[in-house]
């Protein structure tokens, strides 16, 4: 794969032989490598060696002995993006409410309406479509905040979709807000842990999902000592959604008093929190997942992504997609939206004065979308940078495509220039999942039929 962006089918077959050769080696040569590792930086005309599922070496002049060689001339190698929060089951309802203008409207249309009729099959279809779309746009790890687990079979279906797409998936399980359900959550997490997550060295990980307060769905789903104890007993992390405003700020301070803040806890949105809440987050090392387009477009709390508040206390957040019923599917848009919003606010804040604006950079937002996202998902030692010893989750981006040539600044090209069409290859755990610009092993006509049939069922059943 070089500046032309194509490789032969025979080469792809060689790259896919890991099932018969667990130590299969791939050497990418002559690429610009954006490692997102502070000790390695950006390397020009360099090589990257993958052995099995792991990055073994990064640098110039690596030996090709025993390796399948891929010409990386004219390309950028970068870590895969990390999505820290997406409600994947909703995906067959994409952009069904594109102009929704508050949280309540989303809750009533999607969670109190369409969600209540979902079958396990619909959970599977939505999650599968979300994961494949994530891979296509360069997201190699996706946290699925699966808050429509009406029965054990609904959870099984969502997890199976992650398995079948071969994404590095984080299944964050929660019961539904409205409608009939089996009340099996959170007790069913024990079964899920034993059935799907017994091996720590695998593509899938499990988390408990919860809400900050009971304002939306009542106390059952509110994070507190009981849910924290459940997660601790299972040895899993917790992701808490709908962290907004004064009520969530008070909850954060209460969680600190209860000793249940910490690095295994992720607070999603964190919009409109008080300075006292941010100090508690800083003191405890709690992680943050921002949803830049969600906050701004839907108008959540202040509608301003909490990037300045996070950075002010030394917290570097991950980024997320949130709900595709109203929002985009890709990480490029999240990076650009956050980059533009923060820099606009920084300049506006000092306009007319002698002060210099405190602006984030393209490197900052790429860090949020990769390494910090991995840390937020509890996978900092596994993925998020092209560091030898980490799993081989990486992107090959064409730098000589019409919209990217000529390559001047690799980080700037990824953040401000590129999109899904420029991603020629995606490797997850050392396995090609997108190659020559196409996601591998997807019967698109069959998938399309499945998605359309599921959508029609959901719309008709919820209207009945």
* 63-83 pLDDT, tens digit each: 999 999 999 999 999 999 999
Count of positions (residues) in the chain: 464
For residues 41 and 116, state if they share a domain.
Answer: no
Question: Residue 60: left (phi > 0), alpha (psi -120 to 50), or beta?
Answer: beta
Bond from prior residue into 161 cis (ω within 30 degrees of 0): no
- Average predicted confidence (pLDDT) for the chain: 95
For residues 363 and 389, state if they share a domain.
Answer: no
Nearest Cα to 323, choosing from 146, 138, 200? Answer: 146
Assign 457 a pLDDT band (cuts: 50, 70, 90): very high
CATH of the domain at 22: 2.30.40.10
Report whether pLDDT(89) > 50. yes
What is the structure's pLDDT at 79?
A: 98
User: CA-CA distance, 120 to 293, in Å (whole number)?
Assistant: 29
Number of H helices, E strands in the chain: 15, 17
What is the structure's pLDDT at 464?
A: 87
For residues 257 and 389, state if they share a domain.
Answer: no
User: CA-CA distance, 191 to 211, in Å (whole number)?
Assistant: 22
E-only strand ranges, 218-296: 237-244, 265-271, 287-290
Nearest Cα to 337, choosing from 287, 294, 385, 397? Answer: 294
The verdict on residue 293 lying in a domain is yes
Report whether pLDDT(251) > 70. yes
The verdict on residue 429 lying in a domain is yes
C-alpha pair distances (Å), 59 with each of 19, 42, 65, 387:
27, 10, 15, 11
Nearest Cα to 385, choosing from 374, 399, 376, 396? Answer: 374
User: CA-CA distance, 3 to 31, in Å (whole number)?
Assistant: 10
What is the structure's pLDDT at 393?
A: 98
Looking at the DSSP bridge assignments, the partners of residue 240 are 210, 267
Please give the backbone phi and psi of residue 36, each rounded to the nearest 5 degrees, phi first: 60, 25
User: CA-CA distance, 67 to 54, in Å (whole number)?
Assistant: 14
The verdict on residue 91 lying in a domain is yes
User: CA-CA distance, 389 to 48, in Å (whole number)?
Assistant: 12
What is the structure's pLDDT at 17?
A: 64
User: CA-CA distance, 152 to 185, in Å (whole number)?
Assistant: 9
Tokens 């079964």 belong to residue:
191
What is the structure's pLDDT at 243?
A: 97
* 8-49 pLDDT, tens digit each: 666 777 777 666 688 899 999 999 999 999 999 999 999 999
Average pLDDT rounded to a whole number, residues 92-120: 96
Average pLDDT rounded to a whole number, residues 342-357: 95
Instruction: With residue 144 as reference, give the H or E element that holds it.
Output: strand 139-146
Q: How many CB atoms lie within 10 A of CB 439?
A: 18
For residues 403 and 362, state if they share a domain.
Answer: no
* 196-247 pLDDT, tens digit each: 998 877 999 999 999 999 888 789 999 999 999 999 999 999 999 999 999 9
What is the structure's pLDDT at 387?
A: 98
What is the structure's pLDDT at 215?
A: 86
Range of the domain at 141: 81-376
* 151-168 pLDDT, tens digit each: 999 999 999 999 999 999
* 381-431 pLDDT, tens digit each: 999 999 999 999 999 999 999 999 999 999 999 999 999 999 999 999 999
For residues 112 and 133, state if they share a domain.
Answer: yes
For residues 175 and 254, state if they share a domain.
Answer: yes
For residues 150 and 176, state if they share a domain.
Answer: yes
What is the structure's pLDDT at 96?
A: 97
For residues 303 and 172, state if they share a domain.
Answer: yes
**Boundary residue ending a domain (376, 396, 421):** 376
CB contact burial 333-362 (16+ within 10 A = b; e otherwise): bbbbbbbebbeebbeeeeeeeeeeeeebeb
CATH of the domain at 312: 3.20.20.140
Number of domains in the chain: 2
For residues 364 and 423, state if they share a domain.
Answer: no
The verdict on residue 419 lying in a domain is yes
Please give the backbone phi and psi of residue 272, each rounded to the nearest 5 degrees, phi first: 75, 25
Instruction: With residue 331 as reference, give the H or E element that holds it.
Output: helix 331-350
Nearest Cα to 31, choosing from 398, 455, 453? Answer: 398
For residues 87 and 75, state if they share a domain.
Answer: no
For residues 194 and 218, state if they share a domain.
Answer: yes
The verdict on residue 424 lying in a domain is yes
What is the structure's pLDDT at 3?
A: 47
What is the pTM assigned to this prediction?
0.96
What is the structure's pLDDT at 7?
A: 65
What is the structure's pLDDT at 5?
A: 57
The verdict on residue 446 lying in a domain is no
Nearest Cα to 117, choosing from 145, 93, 138? Answer: 93
What is the structure's pLDDT at 1?
A: 58
For residues 372 and 289, state if they share a domain.
Answer: yes
The verdict on residue 95 lying in a domain is yes
E-only strand ranges, 21-138: 25-34, 42-51, 54-59, 67-71, 75-79, 81-86
The verdict on residue 462 lying in a domain is no
Q: How many CB atoms lie within 10 A of CB 180?
A: 9
What is the structure's pLDDT at 11?
A: 73
């Amino acid at each position: 794969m070089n500046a032309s962006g194509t490789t032969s089918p025979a080469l792809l077959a060689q790259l896919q032989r890991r099932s018969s050769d667990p130590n299969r080696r791939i050497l990418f040569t002559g690429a610009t490598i954006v490692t997102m590792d502070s000790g390695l930086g950006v390397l020009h005309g360099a090589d990257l060696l993958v052995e099995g599922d792991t990055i073994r070496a990064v640098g110039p002049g690596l030996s090709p002995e025993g390796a399948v060689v891929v010409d990386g001339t004219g390309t950028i190698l970068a870590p895969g993006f990390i999505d820290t929060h997406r409600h994947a089951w909703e995906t067959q309802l994409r952009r069904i409410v594109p102009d929704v203008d508050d949280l309540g409207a989303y809750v009533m249309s999607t969670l109190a309406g369409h969600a209540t009729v979902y079958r396990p099959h619909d959970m599977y279809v939505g999650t599968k479509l979300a994961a494949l779309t994530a891979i296509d746009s360069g997201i190699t790890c996706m946290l699925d905040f699966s808050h429509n687990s009406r029965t054990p079979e609904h959870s099984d279906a969502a997890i199976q979709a992650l398995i079948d797409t071969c994404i590095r998936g984080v299944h964050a399980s929660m019961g539904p807000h409205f409608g009939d359900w089996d009340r099996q959550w959170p007790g069913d997490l024990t079964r899920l842990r034993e059935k799907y997550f017994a091996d720590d060295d695998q593509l899938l990980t499990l988390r408990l999902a919860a809400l900050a307060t009971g304002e939306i769905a009542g106390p059952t789903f509110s994070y507190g000592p009981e849910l924290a104890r459940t997660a601790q007993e299972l040895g899993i992390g917790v992701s808490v959604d709908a962290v907004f405003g004064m009520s969530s700020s008070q909850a954060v301070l209460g969680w600190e008093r209860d000793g249940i803040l910490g690095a295994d806890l992720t607070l999603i949105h964190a919009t409109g929190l008080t300075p006292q809440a941010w100090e508690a987050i800083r003191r405890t090392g709690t992680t943050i997942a921002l949803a830049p387009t969600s906050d701004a477009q839907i108008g959540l709390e202040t509608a301003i992504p909490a990037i300045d508040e996070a950075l002010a206390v030394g917290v570097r957040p991950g980024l997320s997609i949130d709900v595709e019923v109203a929002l985009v599917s890709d990480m490029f848009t999240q990076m650009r939206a956050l980059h533009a919003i923060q820099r606009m606010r920084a300049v506006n804040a000092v306009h007319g004065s002698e002060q210099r604006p405190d602006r984030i950079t393209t490197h900052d937002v790429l860090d949020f979308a990769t390494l910090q996202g991995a840390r937020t998902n509890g996978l900092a030692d596994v993925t998020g940078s092209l560091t030898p010893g980490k799993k081989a989750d990486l992107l090959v981006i064409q730098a000589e495509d019409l919209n990217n040539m000529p390559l001047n600044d690799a980080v700037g090209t990824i953040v401000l220039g590129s999109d899904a069409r420029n991603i020629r290859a995606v490797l997850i755990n050392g396995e090609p999942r997108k190659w020559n610009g196409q996601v591998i092993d997807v019967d698109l006509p069959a998938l399309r039929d499945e998605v359309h049939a599921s959508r029609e069922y959901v719309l008709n059943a919820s209207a009945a």
